[in-house]
């Protein structure tokens, strides 16, 4: 795919996410790995709703800016996840309401934030790890993401938002949307004793679709 098309895609998906209220103001950022080892990254202080394809930050394989506006300050989130997930071709980070909300609940299991509620959450986002709160721009958040050793394609930063990797930009966007919708379902059903997918139903999905989910204790929430 040409770089021009990829630039258009970042702006198109960014606008779509922004217009549906999935990341407010100038929050959220998107990155995409290019064939030469470099990256396209959304600029700092840019709203995902109003991106200009010509002004996206173009980084070389060493992460140095070679063209466009300065990249998002949250670039360490992206590089840490790329470093530990070789197959990641794109990363989406949002400040989406429901996903942020669940990070603040007391019962959350950091190894698997959301229970197995729908097949598409498991198929697109897998399980989601919780990373503790860090002040924006604190480089320690990158170490926390690296500490997950690439076992998760979706991570939730406490009191902040999701960071989700996909093989393509479309896959990363769709997985982020599944994560947000699943967080919304969780909040809608919290306290109502809902029936989640059973261990047998999860095993069937894992076998059929070749999912790699982490072992973890049964959800008691």
Q: Which residues are catalytic?
A: 120
Radius of gyration of the chain (CA): 17
Closest CA to 74 of 95, 97, 60, 55: 95
CA-wise closest residue to 40 among 90, 111, 100, 103:
90
In contact, 41 and 59? CB cutoff 8 Å: yes
**72 within 8 A of 79, measured Cβ to Cβ:** no
DSSP string, 78-107: HHHHHHH-TT--EEEE---HHHHHHTT-TT
Closest C-alpha among 175, 135, 185 to residue 153: 175
Q: Are 114 and 182 within 8 A, CB to CB?
A: yes
Of 192, 200, 188, 196, give the one whose Cα is nearest residue 219: 196
In terms of phi and psi (left: phi > 0; alpha: psi -120 to 50; beta: otherwise), the region of 115 is beta
């Amino acid at each position: 795919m040409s770089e021009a098309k990829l630039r258009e895609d970042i702006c198109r998906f960014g606008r779509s996410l922004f217009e549906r209220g999935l990341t407010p103001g100038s929050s959220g950022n998107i990155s995409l790995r290019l064939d030469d080892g470099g990256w396209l990254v959304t600029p700092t202080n840019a709203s995902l709703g109003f991106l200009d394809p010509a002004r996206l930050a173009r980084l070389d394989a060493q992460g140095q800016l070679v063209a466009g506006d300065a990249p998002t300050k949250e670039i360490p989130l992206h590089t840490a996840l790329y470093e530990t997930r070789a197959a990641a071709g794109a990363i989406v980070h949002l400040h989406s309401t429901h996903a942020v909300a669940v990070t603040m609940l007391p019962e959350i299991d950091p190894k698997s934030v959301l229970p197995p509620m729908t097949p598409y959450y498991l198929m697109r986002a897998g399980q989601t790890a919780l990373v503790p709160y860090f002040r924006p721009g604190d480089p320690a958040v990158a170490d926390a993401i690296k500490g997950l050793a690439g076992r998760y394609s979706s991570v939730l930063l406490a009191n902040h938002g999701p960071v989700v990797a996909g093989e393509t930009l479309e896959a990363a966007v769709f997985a982020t949307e599944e994560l947000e919708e699943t967080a919304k379902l969780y909040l809608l059903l919290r306290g109502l004793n809902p029936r989640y997918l059973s261990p047998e139903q999860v095993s069937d999905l894992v076998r059929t679709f070749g999912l790699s989910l982490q072992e973890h204790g049964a959800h008691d929430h």
